[in-house]
Amino acid sequence: SVKILVEAHADVNAEDVDHWTALLNACQNGNLDIVCFLIEHGAHIEHCDCGQFTPLMWASYQGHTRVVEYLLSCGTNVDAQDEHGISSLSWASGRNHINIVALLLAAGASPNLCDKNNTSPLIWASRRGYTRVIDLLLKHNANVNNIGMKNMTALLASTKGGHAETALCLLQNSTIDIKIQDKDGQTPLSHACGQGLTDVVAELVERHAYVNTVDKNLDPVLFSAVKSGREDSVAILLEKHAHINVVGAENKTAIWWAVECGRLDVVKYLLQYSPDVEIPGGHDDDTPLLLATKRKRVGIVYELIKYGAKLSSVDRFGDNSLHIALRNCSRDIADILLSNPRHSKYLYRPNKRGTLNLNDDSILGYDLYSSALAEILSEPSLRTPITVGLYAKWGSGKSALLAHLKDEMYSFAQLTDFPSIKFSPLLLSVIFITGSIIGLVIGFLIHYTVGISIGCLLIIFPLVFLYWIKYLLRNKDYGRTASVARFINKRLEILRFLLQVLFINPYAHHRLKTDDTTDCKKIKFIFTEYGKVSTVEGEKVSATMIAELATSIEETFGLVATRLCRALHSKNLSHDRFRNLCCVPAFIFVTIQILVAFVLSILIFIKGWISSNKLTKQC
């Protein structure tokens, strides 16, 4: 179609609004045949578009080697520059078109032709680490020390970009200047350390690069190596006498930066050179130990404590490392800081705000003590009374330990109090008596048939309901079912305790249970307010504590039972198991009375039923 248009006398140099011609489009797209045809028919080979790009620039930019070769054979200007001063060689070098770079250099392109920012083709290639292009440019006498935009040289660009192979290739040039600094004051050594280019660092140091150069922020080269975390680069600098305690911006040191970046291996290596770990730095005036505690660097805290860092150091708020560890709930760090018993004194030193920062006691290890003590006190075979004393200075967390102990014992009691339903004689008796009484009352008030029906239902329905609860507990484990079972068991326990208080001799009952350990499967703990005991008015406080204990017992075992227990208390050491009345157990009298009342009720009920039948027949 191009051939037809040309033969039809179309203008081969026609331009669009952006000054693009057919030749520029063909060179950009790499259509060699069309490029050849257009040039043969008079297309301007040096025509530029709106950005001053020539056909050679577009072919070099896009990497069309055959088009570049043909354009060069046609005598195009090899050093033409666009509106930014960038030449075809710079474009080809920056995009790693090695064959085009070779063609351009062979055609006489200047390897030192710079753009408006004074950036040479060598710097363009160094930014991306195109080592083969750099090697080719250097062989054509490219200026290795040319300073481009932002005061960058080829070596600075390659090290900043982390291109070790490129940097080593540049360092093979004997005329290279390794001391040039960029606009931020960084040297090739600084960039190499920051990027972790150990081989480049070693080569630069071997060429006598100054290891204590500082940038515009007054940060030395050692800081860059520490931030990168490369222990070997740090080692190279320190072996060449880099200052270990040099202070940079915000009073930060090398060991401070190693802690901030979490470089444990670097911290260990720096500590071998005896750094000063008490220099505060940063916005909060943190020493390395304070900073490690804030960042929760457990390993670094351990190394600093082993090195001898002081716990007495505080930040600008007056907080020491222990304060910070407690606030951050860093239990591992707190254990390390308190590994020396003498360090516990720093727990009680208030900060500038006057607070102790002991709000969270869990990290002090009290749960370990409370668990062990709760396990001892919860032993079913343990014989009471038993006294346990806790001795510590004021504010050391005794109340917290007691709270943990209470929770642990309560949890243990919950494990032994698994909800279950047992059809005990007491339970069956309660159901039968309750149903019978209600049935009799309704029979008297309404009709005997209604009373019998309701009485039977009140006996059958609770049994079915309890059996259903027992089935759910065994197979489904519903939460509400467990709550219902606990409610029923608690009421039965209160009733059982009431009956024991009324009819059983407590001393004889206690002697019967003395050697029985199998009956201690279910454990119950009752707590009183322990925080009210003090040395001031001790008798009054003890009486208050005993009163609160009595209240807790009444809530647990029932008000009536506990008060009857106190009312019926006696020092009778009789060996009889049951309380006697006229040498006869008291429960026998009560049983006889209940049976007599029940029988009389039935007789009255039957008499009423017979009378009602006679009246019906007479009617």
pLDDT tens digit sequence for 287-341: 999 999 999 999 999 999 999 999 889 898 888 898 888 888 888 888 888 888 7
Same domain, 432 and 404: no
Is residue 77, in this structure, part of any structural domain at all? yes
Give the Cβ contact number of residue 462 at 10 Å: 18
| DSSP-derived 3-state class of residue 581 | strand
pLDDT at position 547: 78
User: 447 and 386 in one domain?
Assistant: no
Number of domains in the chain: 4
Phi/psi for 18 (5° steps) reads -100, 15
What are the beta bridge partners of residue 220? Answer: 214
> d(Cα 223, Cα 212) in Å, to the nearest integer?
10
Task: Name residue 81's beta-bridge partners.
Answer: 87
Residue 514: per-residue pLDDT: 46
Residue 201 in domain: no
Residue 507 is predicted with a pLDDT of 54
What is the C-alpha to C-alpha distance for residues 401 and 385, in angstroms, rounded to an integer? 21
- Quick one: how far is CA 251 from the chain centroid? 30
340 and 455 co-located in one domain: no
Look at residues 367, 387, 416 and tell me which one is the last residue of a structural domain: 416
Shared-domain flag, residues 585 and 504: yes
463 in the same domain as 319: no
Q: Is 310 helix (H, G, I), strand (E, B) or coil?
A: coil
Q: How confident is the model at residue 338, as a pLDDT?
A: 82
462: three-class secondary structure by DSSP: helix
Residues 444 and 520 in one domain: yes
Single residue among 69, 86, 110 that ends a domain in this structure: 110
At residue 180, does pLDDT exceed 90? yes
For residue 476, count CB atoms less than 10 angstroms from its CB and return exposed for 0-12, middle for 13-18, buried for 19 or more. Answer: exposed
How high is the pLDDT of residue 52?
92
Would you say residue 315 lies in a domain? Answer: yes
Phi, psi of 181 (to 5 degrees): -110, 145
Q: Are residues 315 and 385 in the same domain?
A: no
Residues 441 and 580 occupy one common structural domain: yes
Which burial class, exposed, middle or buried, applies to 331 when counting CB atoms under 10 A from its CB (0-12, 13-18, 19+)?
middle
Residues 450 and 573 in one domain: yes
Residues 267 and 318 in one domain: yes
468 lies in the same domain as 578: yes
Closest CA to 62 of 37, 34, 10, 99: 99
What angle is formed at CA 45 by the lines to CA 43 and CA 50, rounded to 5 degrees?
100
Q: pLDDT digit string (tens) for 26-60?
A: 999 999 999 999 998 889 999 999 999 999 999 99
Instruction: Please identify, among 76, 110, 144, the residue that sits at the C-terminal boundary of a domain.
Output: 110
Q: Domain for residue 364, yes or no?
A: no
* Alpha carbon of residue 394 to chain centroid: 33
Q: In terms of domains, do 313 and 397 share one?
A: no
* Cis preceding-peptide flag for 385 (omega within 30 of 0): yes
Q: What angle do CA 383, 385, 388 make, to 5 degrees?
A: 105
**Percentage of the chain exceeding pLDDT 70:** 80
Q: Name the residue among 46, 48, 34, 47 with its Cα closest to residue 5.
A: 34
126 in Cβ contact with 154 (< 8 Å): yes
**Residue 36 belongs to some domain of the structure:** yes
CB 326 within 8 A of CB 352: no
The domain containing residue 86 runs over which residues? 1-110
pLDDT-based confidence at 515, cuts 50/70/90?
Answer: very low
| Rounded distance between C-alpha atoms, residue 519 and residue 553, angstroms | 20
Nearest to 246 by CA among 211, 290, 297: 211
**Alpha carbon of residue 472 to chain centroid:** 39
Please say whether the dihedral angle defined by the alpha carbons of residues 609, 610, 615 and 619, taken in this order, is positive or negative.
positive
Q: Residues with Cβ < 8 Å from 152, sequence gap 6 or more?
A: 119, 123, 160, 182
| Of 468, 448, 481, 6, nearest in space to 21 by CA | 6
* The token pair that represents 428 in the structure block: 């069956």
Task: Tell me if 211 is assigned to some domain.
Answer: no
Our CA angle for 287, 282, 224, nearest 5°, is 95
Does residue 90 fall inside a structural domain? yes
* Residue 264 covered by a domain: yes
Question: Across 183-192, 431-440, 533-542, which has the greatest mean pLDDT?
Answer: 183-192
pLDDT at 396 over 80: no
According to the per-residue pLDDT averaged within each range, which of 162-166, 399-403, 571-575 is highest? 162-166
DSSP 3-state of 400: helix
- The half-sphere exposure of 431 on its side-chain side, counting CA atoms within 13 A, is 18
- CATH number for the domain spanning 282: value is 1.25.40.20
